[in-house]
Amino acid sequence: MQIIDVLKKYPASQTSLLEILLEIDRLKDNHYISKEEVHMISEYLGVRTSHVYSVLTFYTLLSTEPRGKHIIQVCKDIPCYVNDAFDVRKTLEKMLNMSVGQTSRDGLFTLEETACIGCCDEAPAMLIDLEPYTNLTRDKIERILASYREVTL
């Protein structure tokens, strides 16, 4: 499916913008919206490109830069921080051999921090492609990452 097909699915109304951005992001393995796509969306909806960019850069689920096939988002809010006996972010950085904001060399993972993901009662938590993983331990993180690598092989 191409961007034109996505646009045709929605009314040419500013209220469709977020849905369009999310669908385009989901279609692409590198999870980002290009400048060309921003201009196409802007024209279709009849809004300024600056408006499209303001929505695109507001949400951590969206990006203007290419990212990995799987987006790992580590919760950085207080409940996860307080219940994080081993530091999920540092554990992931070590296991993936990269820092927050980077994409793995194989293009499989991008590691990001995010605000609350709504799993405070099961902290520490993270999302991978919007799928929540809770009550994290080092071993559990290792198994989770391995399952994503196996599916990709």
> What confidence tens digit (pLDDT) does each residue in 43-88 have?
999 999 999 999 999 987 889 988 999 999 998 888 777 776 678 8
Q: Are residues 33 and 82 in the same domain?
A: no
In sign, the C-alpha dihedral spanning 79, 85, 90, 92 is: negative
Q: Are residues 94 and 131 in the same domain?
A: yes
From 58, 78, 100, give the residue that closes a domain.
Answer: 58
Q: Is residue 65 part of a domain?
A: no
> Would you state the structure tokens that stand for residue 138, as one six-digit string?
């080092």
Q: Are residues 74 and 53 in the same domain?
A: no
Q: Are residues 79 and 142 in the same domain?
A: yes
- Whether residue 66 contacts residue 31, with contact meaning beta carbons closer than 8 Å, is answered with yes
Q: How far apart are CA 9 and CA 20, in angstroms?
A: 9
Q: Are residues 112 and 139 in the same domain?
A: yes
- Whether residue 42 contacts residue 51, with contact meaning beta carbons closer than 8 Å, is answered with yes
Q: Are residues 86 and 140 in the same domain?
A: yes
- Whether residue 133 contacts residue 93, with contact meaning beta carbons closer than 8 Å, is answered with no
Q: Are residues 49 and 87 in the same domain?
A: no
Q: Is residue 111 part of a domain?
A: yes
pLDDT of amino acid 17: 96
The CATH number covering residue 148 comes to 3.40.30.10
- Whether residue 117 contacts residue 127, with contact meaning beta carbons closer than 8 Å, is answered with yes
Q: Is residue 141 part of a domain?
A: yes
CA torsion 98-65-130-85 (nearest 10°) is: 30
How many domains does the chain contain in total? 2
Quote the domain boundaries for residue 45: 3-58
> What confidence tens digit (pLDDT) does each residue in 86-104 have?
788 999 999 999 999 999 9
Q: Is residue 64 part of a domain?
A: no
> What confidence tens digit (pLDDT) does each residue in 115-153 have?
888 888 888 899 998 899 999 999 999 999 999 987 654
